Chain A
């Protein structure tokens, strides 16, 4: 095949042009053009499956009622009853109030946790003595259910918003700090060496090399931190409901139980689930995907 190919670079041709052209050819051969998948594919692979899953759950639920497999509405209300509960709350103008009471608390608490957990994580990762002292405690705290903090928080701070924030902090700070620590631990040593030969040492090294390299681990920590914040907050709202605190989603659930209204309990559970998923889908997942994609770490398939 190659033997017939005699039209290569002629002896007189510029060596430079030959090399540049060869290189351009190699580059073109090895680089694959990345393109976004067409909408049809996104529809079938990403959007349709969860929609179908929700539809199946609703169908099974309705079937349980219609076929009278469960016919005690105090145990299992029908989808229509729960829907009615949502409509009433919406018409009374209370639905968004419930959500906002909890979400504003959750997000504010999460921001506090972020402000505390980040420097704490940096300290633990970079200072050996601090790591030896509180590293294991910090990992251990992650496995302590944050609901355990509700009783002492009520005793220390009383039934008020500070108590809620305290419980959120105790739940989320260890996750955020641990995420940053493992992110920093996983920075490839090669990056640190490359940075040092370029003069990035000390604080400059931390800012230009360590922090950006640790970002994926840090984001995973933030995501888990949010989940812990939200759970802790719901536990606190359920246990410590008081008229002064306003009605958040946890309190709504507790009110439903007290009123023996199963459809209100379902309404509250669905709202808690919905908010948790929505925050993850709207904030954390896009952030995580953007970071991973820009680094070529998102494997398609």
Chain B
């Protein structure tokens, strides 16, 4: 399995998995032209885990959509190597396919020959610890299992960059903790770069090597923190809690500014 997944790691030749340069985005709504993202510059290094943190209206999901290529920036440029994989808050698995066939569809769309798909899908299911779930229908799986299949499907795209849009926000706390551990393990095993969007400060600190805080309306990079706490971390660990507290204070300061006119 390690050899099959090694491709994501041999990105040494490039110095970034995603390069976001001076990106702005505005939408024209009923209230006129509205600036959502303002001059964002951000690099994700190969194999790096970065979380984008912000309150509502900071445009973090918009930024992720831009990186995923689902939308065009109004100004600035974004470079990625190949099409990034994207995971949503909802599992977005196709209910007319089994868990395994969902993964095989991603493989097929990537051009993997038919004879290899089944075996590769089994490997990916094993990676997310769902061995034997190939024939299961989506509705037969629990919320946590669905997100793990979605993760396997995203990994099936064999992209160097995995974008995650609050993928665990709809899960219960116990399952979320377990999936944090899983994500850390899979990230370490595969060497994939991750750009992870969340509004949960502790989740951001628990997972990332780097936390980027966005201000709201318009979204700008407010501050960045390196997280040097060694993995595996737990969300209850004292250093995680300590840094979370510090970041939360800054985040609250950002939010307060919007109450003052």
Contacts and interface: CB of A to CB of B under 8 A. Distances in A.
A295 B96 contact: yes
Contacts of B86: 193-194, 197
A212 B95 CA distance: 9
B176 to A, nearest CB: 11
A178 B105 CA distance: 29
B233 to A, nearest CB: 12
A262 B90 CA distance: 61
A215 interface: yes
Contacts of B137: 294-296
Interface string A9-28: 00000011001101110110
A197 B68 contact: yes
B72 interface: no
B218 interface: no
B182 A19 contact: yes
A199 B95 contact: no
A62 to B, nearest CB: 48
Interface stretch (B41-49, B116-124, B140-148): B140-148
Contact of A27 (B142, B153, B174, B232): B142
A16 B69 CA distance: 36
B187 interface: no
B225 interface: no
A19 B178 contact: yes
Interface string B80-98: 0001111010101011110
A122 interface: no
A191 interface: yes
A196 B157 CA distance: 12
B83 A197 contact: yes
A239 interface: no
Interface in A144-196: 190-191, 193-194, 196
A208 B138 contact: no
B110 interface: yes
B144 A296 contact: no
For A19, A30, A197, the residue with the greatest tally of chain B CB atoms inside 10 Å of its CB is A197
Contact of B95 (A26, A30, A196, A295): A295
B178 A200 contact: no
A123 interface: no
B129 interface: yes
B129 A23 contact: yes
Given A197-B68, A197-B83, A294 B142 contact: no
Given A294-B137, A295-B139, A199 B181 contact: no
Contact of A199 (B83, B96, B178): B83
B92 A190 contact: yes
B109 interface: yes
Contacts of B53: none
A204 B109 CA distance: 9
A294 B105 contact: no
B121 to A, nearest CB: 14
A34 interface: yes
Contact of A194 (B88, B182, B185): B88
A34 B140 contact: yes
A259 B42 CA distance: 88
Given A27-B142, A204-B109, A196 B181 contact: no
B36 interface: no
Given A19-B178, A19-B181, A200-B109, A26 B144 contact: yes
A34 B136 CA distance: 12
Contacts of B141: 31
B110 A31 contact: no
Nearest to A30: B142
Nearest to A20: B129
Interface in A214-261: 215
A199 B110 contact: yes
Nearest to A34: B140
A273 interface: no
Given A193-B70, A198-B105, 6 more contacts: A27-B144, A196-B70, A294-B95, A295-B95, A295-B96, A296-B139
19 contacts: A23-B144, A23-B182, A24-B129, A26-B144, A27-B145, A34-B140, A190-B90, A193-B86, A194-B86, A194-B88, A197-B69, A197-B70, A197-B157, A200-B109, A212-B96, A215-B96, A294-B96, A295-B139, A296-B138
Sort A-B residue pairs by CB-CB distance and give the 9 closest, nearest first: A296-B139, A30-B142, A194-B92, A295-B95, A197-B86, A199-B109, A212-B96, A198-B109, A198-B106
